[in-house]
Amino acid sequence: MPKRDRSDLDDDVDQTLVKRGRLGPKRSLSALSDEILLRVLSFLTFRDLLVTERVSSRFRALATDREIWKARYYDAWVKSRLRRRPPLTQRPDKTTNIAKAAQWLEAGQRFKFGKSADWKRQYKIRSNWDIGTARVREIEIAQPPSPPAIAKVHQNMVFTADREAGLRAWLQKDSARALRSQIDIESTAETLCMAVADIDGGVGVLLGFDDGSFSLYLLRTTQDFSLECSYQSLDGPLMAVALMESHVMTISKTQFLSIYHIQSKPQAKGLERTLTSIMRLQSDASFSPVSVALRKTPGAGIIGSVAYAFNRLQSGWCLGLQEICLSHSGEITTSRLTSTIDTPIDPAPKGGNTWEVTSRSTSTLPLALYPQLMSAPTSLSYEHPFVVCSLSDNTLMSYLVTSTSDKLEIRTGRRLWGHTSAVSGVQVNGRGKAVSISSKGEEIRAWELEDVMTAVLPRRTSTAIKGVAGLAGVVAALAQRGSGLGLALDELRREQSLTRRWVGFDDEQVVILGNRDQAQIMAVYDFT
C-alpha cells in the first residue's frame, strides 16, 4: 500500500503533542534562586564545596556561605565531641542533657570566634591541626654571645625579648613574619621570663629580670611599644611572671611569691601606671619547675595560682597547687593548697591499691618506680583547669583541676605516650589543647586533653605536626638532581641540628625557639 503524503494536519498534531509534554521548558541549575541553591549545597561534602567554588563568581559566593561552613565545622568537631562523651547514665554528676551540652559548646565557639567568624577559614585551620600539617618558616632572632631569647604567643603575634634586639613583636604578613614593633629594654639585667595579656585595648607585655625587677610595656593598635612602668623588688632573680589587667604575680628563684596591683591615674599625656605590693610569701622548700597564672572568677574576684613539682620520699615527684583568692579591691580573702600526694607522677602499688595511669589504650596499669622515673619533670604548664608536665622517660602527665568556692582538688592523672625522644617543653591552654616538643629531631605533637581526660575511648591521644614547606623544598631539589639523596640527607641533618628548648602556640600557629650553629632560631608552624 503506497504511503500517503504528509499533510498540514499532521504538523498540527505533532505541535499539540509537544505542547502537552510533561517535562516543560528546559531549565539550568543557575536559573534556581539563591535560597534553593544554598539548600542544595548544604548537602555537599567539603571537597565538593571546594570544587563548586570554581564554577563561577556566583557559585563561589554561595559555596563560601558562612552558615554552610559553620554546619560543616560543627558536624566535624563539635558534635563528634558530644558523641565521644560518656552516656548521661554513667555521669550522675551531670544534670544537663545533650541538647543543653550542644548549646553550651555552640556558645563557647561563638565566644571564641565571634558572630562574624569566617567559618571556612576556621574549618581549614582545624583540619590542618587535625592532620598536623603546617607551613614552617624560620627566623634568626639572635647571635651569640647574646643570652637565650624568650618568647610568648598572643593573638596571632609572637613577642620575643633578648638583650641585643630588645622587645619585638612579630605579625603574620603575606604568609611570612614581619616585624610589627621594637623597643630597647632599659634594664641592663638579663631577661628571664615574660607574660602577655590584654590591657586597655592593647597588649601588655611583662618582662622579669635576673635582678628581681620587672617592667610593663604596652603595644597599642595604632602605636608602637611604650614603657608603662617598672618595679624593683627584693625577691631575687625572677623565674616566672603572670599578668592580668590590674594585677601582676611573680615568683623568684629564692622562692618568694609576690602579687602587685596596677593602679592607673589620668594624666595630661595619658594614663600613669604605678605598682603597689599586695602580698609577699616565701617557701622553705625549693620548687622547680613552676607555672604561675592569674584569672578572674564570677563574683569571687581574682585568683592567683602557682603549680609546682616537689619530691616526696619513696613516692617520686608529685605536683602541688596553691591558690590565693583576692577581692576586686585587692584584699586577700583566702589561700588554699592541694597536691597529688595520693596520686603521684610516678605511682607505685601500695597495699594492693593502684592509682589510675592511662596508657595508649587508656587502660589502668600500676607502674614501678624505676630509677630514671625518680628525676624531676623537665617542664610544667598550668592554665585552669589543666596541668601538664613532661617527664624524663619521654612521656607526659595530664591532670584536671577542680576549683570551686568550697573545694580545690587535682584529680587522678593520666600518662600520655607518643614521643620517642626526650621531651624538652610542653604548653597547655584553658581549652585543653597542648603542644609538646622533643629537644632533638622534628618531633612536635599536639594533644586534645579534653578528649583524653573526659572521653571513655578517645579517638587518639596526639597528632604529629609536620612542616610542609621543608618537605616541598626537598622534593623540588631532588627533582632537579635526579635520584640523588644528597640534599635530602643535608635537609635531615639541618633539621636534626636544631635543638629545641621552648614551645608556644595559639589557635593558628606553633612557635618554637631553638639553637642551630650557635644562632638562636624561631621556627613558626602556620596552620592557616
Q: What is the mean pLDDT of the chain?
A: 78
- Return the beta strands (E) in 85-233 as ranges: 133-142, 150-154, 157-162, 166-173, 176-183, 191-199, 202-209, 213-219, 225-232
> Contact, 325 vs 334, CB < 8 A?
yes
The tens digit of pLDDT for each residue in 268-319 reads 677 788 888 888 888 877 778 899 999 988 776 889 999 998 887 666 778 8
> Contact, 521 vs 504, CB < 8 A?
no
> Contact, 366 vs 346, CB < 8 A?
no
CA dist., res. 109 & res. 83, Å (int) = 17
CA dist., res. 436 & res. 390, Å (int) = 8
The tens digit of pLDDT for each residue in 132-176 reads 999 988 888 888 778 889 999 998 899 999 988 899 999 877 667
CA dist., res. 457 & res. 495, Å (int) = 35
- pLDDT recorded at residue 160: 94
Indicate the angle between helix axes 486-496 and 468-481, nearest 10 degrees: 150
The dihedral over CA atoms of 122, 128, 129, 133, expressed in degrees to the nearest 10, equals -150
**Domain spans in the chain, listed from the N-terminal domain onward:** 33-126, 138-526
Q: Three-state SS for 140? A: strand
> Does domain 138-526 correspond to CATH entry 2.130.10.10?
yes
CA dist., res. 338 & res. 345, Å (int) = 14
Q: Looking at the predicted structure, is the pLDDT value of residue 361 above 50?
A: no
Instruction: Look up residue 122 and give its amino acid.
Output: Q
Backbone angles phi, psi at 136, to 5 degrees: -105, 135
CA dist., res. 161 & res. 142, Å (int) = 10
Q: Determine the CATH number of domain 33-126.
A: 1.20.1280
CA dist., res. 144 & res. 189, Å (int) = 17
- pLDDT recorded at residue 94: 42
Q: Can you tell me which residue has the cell 625572677? A: 238
What 8-state DSSP symbol labels residue 358?
B
pTM of the model: 0.79
